[in-house]
Chains A and B, each alone.
Chain A
């Protein structure tokens, strides 16, 4: 890149080290990758150690520190994309471009790989082409895409209908039918003042919609009461849970309500500055959102002296770059400060020590929109909806084996069966209640209610009918977490990787009950020992699936005893080729069978021996 262009980007970001990630995202978009010289130049310009810049550049999936091609095609690889045939489409594209997945073409033109769920599960299979979302992939689109890439047509000139993203709103309730004009909620809130609004939020018993369900009034009050030079509001739009896409719809079609909610939160906690942390997968929304923020500034609905009330609050949008962990609030703040998104040690919590170490409230997109609604309609009104412990409505992102995938707004307390019925699900065998990180329900549990006190959810409902192989669901989740673990703590970093390997071992027909026990052991270790919510929840769905859909695993267990991950006899084939031998003595198979027979005899002779399982246990450890 020309030095002048780099200077221009650095200047626009005021050479602020806290904006390192935003700078790298821009450079990546311009150059297609981040060459070593660029990292050095950025480090010098920002006064940062080069290794710090490299830390950030190498942490995020959408930043490349090695050439990744002029065209970078990333297929969304959520289980719902898989069910819609994304793998065959990826193979087809690779075939047409003479490529191996994950590798750059010889001429440096193109690379094709997978990425975590892009939030288009209701209109998949989806992919990102140089960061731009393409939905509803089909073989014809893949054919044409290969042509366009070979002819070097810029992604911006590809057929516009490919980039079309639908809202697919299927059921509206109080939020999606709010009927408020832009700024209306904000005007009411400014009129009533912070104390009154905090009172309404408390009366509403609003709980965070990201999934954890923390009381919003407690969060806002503790943030307001915390001492600091400045307070901050962060809208968590890093909607990364596989199978969820409701925040995308709120941002695309209900943005004013979200911004009103942010301004109201700002007023309530005493902040003048807010950030929207927009996941990189939703980059296509950025220009639209920026435009709307600019319009609101002109309309007196944002910025200095809002609505003439003397309240100043402005919002900046920061982009993520492909890291699920940044949905965790302290990791999000690290990312917002330009660093790798690794969760902080807590306490202290963000409400006292957040962005730049200052009191910060991080709220989900949906929570902020609801706060705006509550400011107008009142806490009592809101509290009358839903259940006593889970007030209001919940947006559900429904995808998978349903006739009508999309967004469903239901009052809390709705049963899973009702949701499935509304979405047109038939012959359903399983449903995820909170994406890859929550419980997986079997058919006998569909009478359970969606509520914090029963089935808590961030809203990711993925539906699997009886034709689906639940083993593949669990395997997809295991790989997802191995890819997304930030790597900070031992149990999550290595535990997720071990799980992914065990699932691959089962998939390769080398599994035994021993491997299932190993996964259960990882579940017990990671829950409790992990540093943050990612590690603590990474095995919940997998553990549920193993327990509830065991036949899907058992038919892959080819031996009742321990099986190594590799084929012992195949490992000898090279030695056989080199020595020119092929006699029975050069094969392990027969010997192994004889050995097994010998062992069986020995066991029979030792009967009755109830402790035989315990005796054989240590030998597992001695396996390679």
Chain B
């Protein structure tokens, strides 16, 4: 007999060692998230995947599933908190969706739609974050960074390159590049790196491909992020990769 727990009243099977997020994703259930990705170890920083287990808040990407758990996920209370977290992420950076080439493929934007976020609500911080256009094939648009460290993890764990790291503290936390100059062009980064395709927002952008797929026909234009379960991020990845392959091939 499989172990199982209840997610919003629905029975979800799990194998020992799985997190609540992993089990939910395997069952095709959507728990909102930004820093989690099925291919990487959990980070637990964005807190969008906060659920309630037995009445207590828990981060579903780091908490282990246990038999008989009652997990609340898409409740008004939790979605309201997620909306606030999204608003905090929006005002902390410089996110101008209408002029962003990631629009439609951006998990932050798609999750905000899913949660019904209509305005940024808080005063904008307007941080000063210069872009890095030094690399021939990839642009770094730091204004949109949500500090999820997916690129850090991908570069370290898949590409074996350690191209990225987070530096600073608090709201001064920022992505840095592993070179003496701090420029991407001075690293061994390439557009075929996994780290080049894993950014959930519009920081790591492959040059000359921004509008290959027109707005309106993009990942989250076709389906809401909640309909894609765990594959949301991966589908956006693969679309970017396919476009890249078309370009180079």
Residues of chain A within 8 A of B121, CB atoms compared: 621
**C-alpha gap A52/B169 in the complex (Å):** 14
Measured between beta carbons, the chain B residues less than 8 angstroms from A495 are 88
CA distance A178 to B89 in the complex (A): 52
Does A139 have its Cβ within 8 Å of any Cβ on chain B?
A: no
Q: Are A490 and B89 in contact (CB under 8 A)?
A: yes
Is A323's CB within 8 Å of the partner chain B? yes
Given contacts A58-B168, A494-B91, contact A525 B81 (CB under 8 A): yes
Write out the residue numbers on chain A whose beta carbons fall within 8 Å of the beta carbon of B111.
Answer: none
Q: Is A226 an interface residue (CB 8 A)?
A: no
Interface residues on B, range: 35 or more
- Closest CB in chain B relative to A525 CB, distance in Å: 6
Chain A residues near B122 (CB-CB < 8 A): 498, 518
Interface string of B42-67 (1 = CB under 8 A from A): 10111110100000110100100000
Which among A151-159, A309-317, A480-488 touches the partner chain? A480-488
The reply to whether B170 and A486 form a contact with Cβ atoms under 8 Å apart is yes
A565 to B124, CA, bound (A): 11
B177 at the interface (CB under 8 A from A): yes
Measured between C-beta atoms, what is the minimum distance from A606 to chain B in Å? 24
**How far, in whole Å, are A487 and B121 apart by their CA atoms in the complex?**
21
A501-B123, A529-B81, A621-B119 known; A51 vs B178 contact (CB < 8 Å)? yes
In chain B, residues 179-221, which have Cβ atoms closer than 8 Å to a Cβ of chain A? 179-180
B125 part of interface (Cβ distance < 8 Å): yes
Q: Is the Cβ of A490 less than 8 Å from the Cβ of B170?
A: no
In contact, A486 and B165 (Cβ under 8 angstroms): no
Number of A-B pairs whose CB atoms are under 8 Å?
120
Tell me which of B45, B57, B162 contacts A51 (CB under 8 A). B162
| A-side interface size class | 35 or more
Q: Please, how many angstroms separate the alpha-carbon atoms of A152 and B3 in the complex?
A: 71
Q: Is A2 an interface residue (CB 8 A)?
A: no
In the assembled complex, B12 has its CB within 8 A of some CB on chain A: no
- Which residues of B have CB within 8 Å of A36? 180
B1 interfacial contact with A, CB 8 Å: no
Q: Is B227 at the interface (CB under 8 A from chain A)?
A: no
Question: Is A340's beta carbon under 8 Å from chain B?
Answer: yes
Q: Which chain A residues numbered 37 to 68 have a C-beta less than 8 Å away from chain B?
A: 37, 40, 49-52, 54-55, 57-61
- With beta carbons under 8 angstroms apart, the residue of B162, B170, B171, B173 that contacts A49 is B162
A124 lies within 8 A of chain B by Cβ: no
Whether the pair A323, B178 counts as a contact (CB closer than 8 A) is no
- Nearest CB in chain B to that of A61: its residue: B169
A484 near B170 with CB under 8 A, answer yes
CB <8 Å contact, B170 and A51: no
> For the complex, is A207 an interface residue (Cβ under 8 Å from B)?
no
Task: Name the distance in Å between B117's Cβ and chain A's nearest Cβ.
Answer: 10
A624 nearest CB neighbor, chain B only: B123
Q: Is A487 in contact with B171, judged by CB distance below 8 angstroms?
A: yes
Q: Is B85 an interface residue (CB 8 A)?
A: yes
Check B26 for interface membership: any CB of A closer than 8 A. Answer: no
Flag whether A17 is at the interface (Cβ < 8 A).
Answer: no
| Residue B69 is within 8 A (CB to CB) of chain A in the complex | no
- How far is B180's CA from A112's CA once the two chains are assembled, in angstroms? 29
Q: Which residues of B contact A488 (CB under 8 A)?
A: 45, 173
- Find the residue from A60, A323, A491, A622 having the highest chain B CB count within 10 A: A491
A256 to chain B, nearest CB (A): 35
Pairwise interchain contact A49-B178, C-beta atoms closer than 8 A: yes
Q: Is B42 a contact of A486 with CB atoms below 8 Å?
A: no
CB of A510, distance to nearest CB on chain B (Å): 11
Q: Which of B56, B118, B168 has the most CB of A within 10 A?
A: B168
Q: In the complex, A36→B176 CA distance in Å?
A: 13
Smallest CB–CB gap between B183 and chain A, Å? 12
Whether B44 pairs with A528 at a CB distance below 8 angstroms is: no
* Nearest chain B residue, comparing its CB with the CB of A494: B88
Contact B123 A51 (CB under 8 A): no
Q: Does B172 contact A (CB under 8 A)?
A: yes
Across the interface, which residues of B come within 8 angstroms of A624, CB to CB?
Answer: 123
Q: How distant is the Cα of A49 from the Cα of B84 in the complex, in angstroms?
A: 36
Determine if A330 is an interface residue (Cβ-Cβ < 8 Å). no
Contact of A490 among B85, B163, B166 (CB under 8 A): B85
Contact across chains for A323 and B57 when beta carbons are under 8 A apart:
no
B167 at interface by CB-CB < 8 Å: yes
Interface residues of A in 463-522 (CB under 8 A from B): 482-491, 493-498, 501, 518, 521
Q: Are B123 and A565 in contact (CB under 8 A)?
A: yes
Q: How far is the CB of B110 from chain A (nearest CB, A)?
A: 17
Interface check B5, CB cutoff 8 A: no
Determine which of B56, B164, B169, B179 lies in contact with A59 in the assembled complex, contact meaning CB atoms within 8 Å: B169
In angstroms, Cα B59 to Cα A67, docked, is 40
Q: Which residue from B62, B119, B167 sits with its C-beta under 8 Å from A58? A: B167
Closest 4 CB pairs of A and B: A51-B165, A487-B173, A528-B57, A494-B88
The contact sample of 7 A-B pairs, CB cut-off 8 A, is A51-B164, A52-B165, A52-B178, A323-B169, A490-B45, A493-B92, A531-B47
Using a CB–CB distance below 8 Å, which chain A residues touch chain B? 36-37, 40, 49-52, 54-55, 57-61, 323, 340, 345, 482-491, 493-498, 501, 518, 521, 525, 528-531, 565, 621-622, 624
